[in-house]
Amino acid sequence: MAMKIRLARGGSKKRPHYAIVAADSRMARDGRFIEKLGTYNPLLSKDSEDRVKMDLERVQYWLSQGAQPTDRVARFLEAADALPKKERANAKKGTPGKKALERVKEKADKAAAAVAAAAEAAAEKVSDAVSSDDKAE
């Protein structure tokens, strides 16, 4: 039997409340489960003690029996120091989108145009100064 430690949604519309359960992976998300291991209330503030409650002894038991936690539950367990933290590869997180790239390109073009205009103005001043010195002689 493929066991999972996962979230089962409860609560009303737009007011979610989750139960952390040990269930057969083939059962429906909110369907039959073997044991309730804790609760998760996402509406509470992140620093609230009541946001995530788990019976860590039972969670450790199910992990020893081969149950696999889902990504979200694994993060809860990492925060509770029940699992070692693992690296996650989110390759697209650091790359800007199309509009941001366009804004950066426009900004660079404007800066290049401003530098070119300033250089042209400086060159014009130098040539005017040189020509006025030639006239003075």
Dist. CA 32–CA 23, nearest whole Å? 7
Per-residue pLDDT reduced to its tens digit, 38-89: 999 999 998 999 999 999 999 999 999 999 999 999 999 999 988 888 887 7
**Are 70 and 7 within 8 A, CB to CB?**
yes
Residue holding tokens 């952390």?
Answer: 20
pTM beyond 0.85: no
Q: If you write DSSP's letter for every residue of 49-94 in order, what string do you get? A: TTSEEE-HHHHHHHHHTT-EE-HHHHHHHHHTTSS-------TTTT
CATH number among 3.90.1150.10, 3.40.50.720, 3.30.70.141, 3.30.1320.10, domain 3-79: 3.30.1320.10
